[in-house]
Amino acid sequence: MKPAAFAYRRAATVDEAIAALQEAAGEAKLIAGGQSLGPMLNLRLARPARLIDIGTIESLGRIEVGDHSVRVGAGVTHARIEDEAGAIEGLAPLAHVARGIAYRAIRNRGTVGGSLAHADPAADWPLVLATLGAAIEIRGAGRVRRVDAAAFMLGPYATSLAYGEILAAVEIPKMHSCARWAYRKFCRKPGEFAEAAAAALFDPDRRIARVLLGAPAARPTPLPALARDLARGGRSALDTERLAEEIEPLVADAPPHRRQAALTILRKTLEEVLQ
């Protein structure tokens, strides 16, 4: 199928894109890399009257390294993280994550902001950025607000973005040298969306421990009791029965092979952090 007809406009700045959204009064959609929205337009699952292209806004493509965090513009592509993160202090672990997203052709165009805004429950960035304690910068007409990445995604394809707002950047705290983190996912074939995914972080200096389950949960979901055990270095976090109990409410509707995959992936993630 081909998309229904739409008007197209390229915005040169974030303010211009916000003004164009307001002018369209609910009838417009932003397009960044088009790697999720493109198929939805083709299948006519999305039928916006106007598309506002934010793919060439210079400020959205910046990566800025601060003392304690790295600010990644929403328009930074997965491929740029794959290629450049290894040489950027505080971003190095993300190269591996980016490399595991889809295929290079998709990574060349797909963006971090587009992935977060699209909010696929099996996507990589929502889970990883929530685990790392990132904050999401959202711009609307005359205002800027910040939301914890863990609170940004509300459910499958639902976020806290309101119409008229743009996800501008993600601020990722730098990990201390003694911090450990792990991210694992299970896909049937390389390049496919994850059937199961989990991530964990333990930073003894900052006394932070987080454990999150991604797919098949409906959104990246924190597992606070496991995080407390992880912070104590407790091997009890690895007990299979206990893990199954913790994730049961999140995976109850998933088919058996995905429930099993979630259990295995979560266990391996925790093992890696506890090593």
Q: Site residues (CB under 6 A) for ligand FAD? A: 29-37, 39, 54, 74, 101-102, 106, 109-111, 113-115, 117-118, 123-125, 161, 166-167, 193
**Closest separation between CB of residue 107 and ligand FAD, Å?**
7
Q: Report how far apart the first and last C-alpha atoms of the chain are (Å, whole number).
A: 50
**82 or 124: CB nearest ligand FAD:** 124
The minimum distance between CB 94 and ligand FAD, in angstroms, equals 12
Residue in the shown chain whose Cβ atom is closest to ligand FAD:
110
Q: Which token pair is 159?
A: 């976020």
| Pick 11 or 273: Cβ nearer ligand FAD | 11
CB of 61 to ligand FAD, least distance (A): 11
Instruction: Identify which of residues 41 and 226 has a Cβ nearer to ligand FAD in the complex.
Output: 41
Helices (H), 13-123: 14-23, 37-42, 78-84, 94-99, 104-109, 112-118
CB of 204 to ligand FAD, least distance (A): 29
| Of residues 8 and 89, the one with the C-beta less far from ligand FAD | 8
* Residue whose CB is less far from ligand FAD, 179 or 215: 215
Amino acid of residue 58: E
CB of 54 to ligand FAD, least distance (A): 6
Note the helical H segments in the chain: 14-23, 37-42, 78-84, 94-99, 104-109, 112-118, 124-131, 149-152, 224-231, 240-251, 256-274
Residue type, 125: W
| Peptide bond before residue 216 is cis, with ω within 30 degrees of 0 | yes
